[in-house]
Amino acid sequence: MAGHAVELDSKTLWGGKESPFSTSYGKLMMWFFLVSDALTFTGLLIAYGYTRHSAQDAWPIGEETFNSMPFLGHGYPLLYVALMTFILIVSSVTMVLAVEAGHRMDKSGVIKWMIATIIGGFFFVGSQAWEWSHFIHGSEFGKIELADGSQAIVKGHFGEIESFTVLKEGKHLKKGEIVKSDLLHQFQHAAETGKIFRSEAMISNLNNQRNIIAALKKDTTGVPGSAEKAISLKANLISLEKELALIKSKPVTAGVLILHDGSIAKINKKSDEHLMLVTKKSGNTFKVGGEPIKDKKAEELYYGALTEGTANKVVYGANLKQNEYGPQQYGQFFFFITGFHGFHVFSGVVINIIICIGVVLGTYHKRGHYEMIEKTGLYWHFVDLVWVFVFTFFYLI
Amino acid sequence: MLRDDLIEYSLNSHHSEEAGKKIRKKIFLVTILLTSITIVEVLLGAFIHQSSSMWAFVKWTFVALTILKAGYIVMVFMHLGDEKKWMRNVILVPYFLFVAYLIFIALWEALEVGNAFATYGN
């Protein structure tokens, strides 16, 4: 040990040399910063807990929301976040090994472990990017508002959309043409904007009804024969409404949609498997916390609501205004907490790179100690520490 | 370049090759421990659903395991366990006092707000 003697005498004690904690100024300030940063994250997580406790059953459950793996698809609850946690733990270990190598003045060891830490950090940031992208795009089913006003999230295996067959020509597509590309995107867009219907007959029925209502609204006072005409129009409207009710009473599994160019096409889709609706907002019939609706019944309700031809009945993915997983605040907390943590990881990687360059240049070796590695290491472990809590309170509980 | 107007405390943490071996062994054991805790957590989370009667137990297990994990990270990886006792206290005690209070007050209030929402509507 090349250290100085640390026995105290009155001269060194009051001469400003001695630290009561036997710690350098830099390391102590790093700790103070970390405590304040920890308070920030604590505040965020407690705010999350507050919102969640006040929302109760409507809050989404981690294993339902996060159950996908890259290349493998759905049905792997929490596996991906566990992998992210493991990556971060490993990079924390390589960091502490770099600190240990520094204590032995082993320059090449420090460089080796620092580079490993930086790689781990990049892997973590990349994983988070995938996670965000997946969260924002959402599932194939989305969240649906059912006829009774309740909202449900949908679980199960989405039957692939094979093609659209054009039934009525639009600006570009001809009758009988088959659309084979960008199917899911067009399907979801039509669902969001209320352009999926039970059948072609339903579309013309709705159009006729709209025309009659417009005609009835027109002021026709003084026009001869207008009263008789209004009566026949009303009779027409009633028969159209009856016809619509009949159309709606028949269950559908896909229906028809209006494409971008105004053409009407039939949706050819494989049937879904293990469909299950979990109520997240109570309506007249279905309540939050009730039994999930399954299989045939779920299929009828889901596609019944989807083919109403009404906009905003279904939400796909997430943004700051709405999300398919649960209450609005859920998405906001997800973006803010994991985003703020991800930003910390990113800045940690940048700081590690800068310090690593310093190590390569021999800056710290010349000083006779690698305390700078300890300081950046403290920050890096702190990032891991925060993730441990985010993992538990956001994903597990 | 040694300055005699300040004490390089960091030099005290230098250690030999043998001591390094011991420290690396400890790090390795802690790694195994943290990884196994994570695996246990994921298995519990994936197989025991929130509707299960076991859930309350599982939830508190998660909290306990998380604090255990955090303890190992702070004490071993961040070397707070090797610092002087009062430095440890200065960092941990004010933080825990404040956080315990905040958790209590916020969650208690939230449950009441939730009940009010349930009774009177949002």
CB distance A396–B62 less than 8 Å?
yes
B47 part of a folded domain: yes
CA neighbor of A387 nearest in space, from A343, A351, A324: A343
Q: Are residues B35 and B64 in the same domain?
A: yes
Q: In this structure, what DSSP letter does residue A12 have?
A: H
- Alpha helices by DSSP H, listed for chain A, are 10-14, 25-55, 62-65, 79-103, 107-137, 183-192, 200-217, 226-249, 295-306, 328-333, 339-361, 363-367, 371-390
Q: Which two tokens stand for residue A317?
A: 């993915």
Euclidean distance between CA atoms A167 and A264, whole angstroms: 6
Report the DSSP beta bridge partners of residue A166.
Answer: A265
Q: Which residues from B are below 8 Å from A93, CB to CB?
A: 27, 30-31, 77
Q: What integer is the mean pLDDT of A370-375?
A: 94
The dihedral built from the CA positions of residue A306, A273, A268 and A71, taken in this order, carries a sign that is positive
Q: How large is the C-alpha radius of gyration of chain B?
A: 22
Pick B69 or A205 by higher pLDDT: B69
Q: Which CATH class is domain A21-138+329-396?
A: mainly alpha
B5 part of a folded domain: no
pLDDT greater than 80 at residue A347: yes
Domain that holds residue B107: 84-122
Residue A330 vs residues A53, A323, A327: alpha-carbon distances, Å = 12, 8, 6
Name, in order, each residue with C-beta under 8 angstroms of A169's C-beta and a sequence gap of 6 or more: A175, A263
Confidence of residue A1 (pLDDT cuts 50, 70, 90): very low
CB distance A89–B38 less than 8 Å?
yes
Q: Are residues B78 and B88 in the same domain?
A: no
- Contact of B78 with chain A, judged by CB distance below 8 Å, is answered with yes
Q: What integer is the mean pLDDT of A272-298?
A: 85
B100 part of a folded domain: yes
Q: What was the pLDDT predicted at B66?
A: 95
- Contact of A79 with chain B, judged by CB distance below 8 Å, is answered with yes
Q: Are residues B64 and B28 in the same domain?
A: yes
Q: Are residues B31 and B52 in the same domain?
A: yes
Q: Are residues B67 and B30 in the same domain?
A: yes
Q: What was the pLDDT predicted at B25?
A: 94
Q: Are residues B72 and B28 in the same domain?
A: yes
- Contact of B32 with chain A, judged by CB distance below 8 Å, is answered with no
CB distance B84–A6 less than 8 Å?
no
Q: Which residues from B are below 8 Å from A377, CB to CB?
A: 77-78
Least confident of A41-45, A115-119, A206-210, B57-61: A206-210
Q: How large is the C-alpha radius of gyration of chain A?
A: 31
Q: What integer is the mean pLDDT of B6-19?
A: 82
SS3 A146: coil
Q: Which residues from B are below 8 Å from A55, CB to CB?
A: 114, 117
- Alpha carbon of B12: minimum distance to chain A alpha carbons (Å): 6
Which pTM does this prediction carry?
0.86
Q: Which residues from A are below 8 Å from B24, CB to CB?
A: 97, 100
Mean pLDDT (chain A, rounded) = 88
Query: Could you tell me if A161 and A190 are in contact, meaning their C-beta atoms sit under 8 angstroms apart?
Result: no
Find the CB nearest B15 among A77, A104, A389.
Answer: A104
Confidence of residue A14 (pLDDT cuts 50, 70, 90): low
**Measured in Å, how far apart are chain A's first and last C-alpha atoms?**
48
CB distance B77–A381 less than 8 Å?
yes
Report the DSSP beta bridge partners of residue A268.
Answer: A163
- Alpha carbon of B56: minimum distance to chain A alpha carbons (Å): 10
Q: Are residues B64 and B93 in the same domain?
A: no
The predicted-structure confidence for B74-113, as pLDDT tens digits, reads as follows: 999 999 988 899 999 999 999 999 999 999 999 999 999 9
Name, in order, each residue with C-beta under 8 angstroms of A12's C-beta and a sequence gap of 6 or more: A18
B115 part of a folded domain: yes
CB distance B50–A61 less than 8 Å?
yes
Name, in order, each residue with C-beta under 8 angstroms of B22's C-beta and a sequence gap of 6 or more: none
Query: A interface mutation test: which of B59, B75, B77 has the most A CBs within 10 A?
Result: B77
For A176-198, give the DSSP string: T-EE-SSHHHHHHHHHHTT-EES
The domain locations on chain A are 21-138+329-396, 143-198+250-316
Going by their DSSP bridges, the two strands A273-281 and A151-157 should be labelled as antiparallel
Q: Are residues B77 and B99 in the same domain?
A: no
Find the CB nearest A89 among B34, B62, B103.
Answer: B34
Q: Which two tokens stand for residue A21?
A: 């904690």
Euclidean distance between CA atoms A212 and B24, whole angstroms: 82
Q: Are residues B91 and B77 in the same domain?
A: no
- Contact of B93 with chain A, judged by CB distance below 8 Å, is answered with no
B14 part of a folded domain: no
DSSP H or E segment with residue A163: strand A161-168
Q: In this predicted complex, what is the ipTM?
A: 0.92
Q: What integer is the mean pLDDT of A88-108?
A: 94
Look at chain B and report how many structural domains it folds into.
Answer: 2
Residue A215 burial (C-beta neighbours within 10 Å; 0-12, 13-18, 19+): middle
Euclidean distance between CA atoms A238 and A233, whole angstroms: 9
The predicted-structure confidence for B21-40, as pLDDT tens digits, reads as follows: 999 999 999 999 999 999 99
B1 part of a folded domain: no
Euclidean distance between CA atoms A4 and A65, whole angstroms: 56
Q: Which residue type, as a one-letter code, is found at position A357?
A: I
Q: Which residues of A283-302 are buried (b: 16+ CB within 10 A; e: fewer)?
A: beebebeeeebeeeebbebb
Report the DSSP beta bridge partners of residue A294.
Answer: A276
Angle between helices B17-47 and B55-72 (to 10 degrees): 160
CB distance B69–A18 less than 8 Å?
no
Euclidean distance between CA atoms A256 and A161, whole angstroms: 12
CB distance B73–A49 less than 8 Å?
no
Find the CB nearest A86 among B23, B38, B118.
Answer: B38
Find the CB nearest B7 among A4, A55, A92.
Answer: A4
Q: Are residues B76 and B99 in the same domain?
A: no
Residue A110 vs residues A356, B46, B53, B78: alpha-carbon distances, Å = 8, 38, 49, 17
Q: Which two tokens stand for residue A273?
A: 């498997």
Name, in order, each residue with C-beta under 8 angstroms of A152's C-beta and a sequence gap of 6 or more: A143, A144, A146, A277, A278, A279, A280, A286, A293
Q: Which residue type, as a one-letter code, is found at position A197?
A: F
CA neighbor of A309 nearest in space, from A192, A201, A173: A192
Q: Which residues from A are below 8 Å from B12, CB to CB?
A: 1, 3, 6, 22
CB distance B77–A52 less than 8 Å?
no
Q: Are residues B98 and B77 in the same domain?
A: no
Q: Which residues from A are below 8 Å from B57, CB to CB?
A: none
CB distance A42–B102 less than 8 Å?
yes
Confidence of residue B122 (pLDDT cuts 50, 70, 90): low
Q: Are residues B62 and B88 in the same domain?
A: no
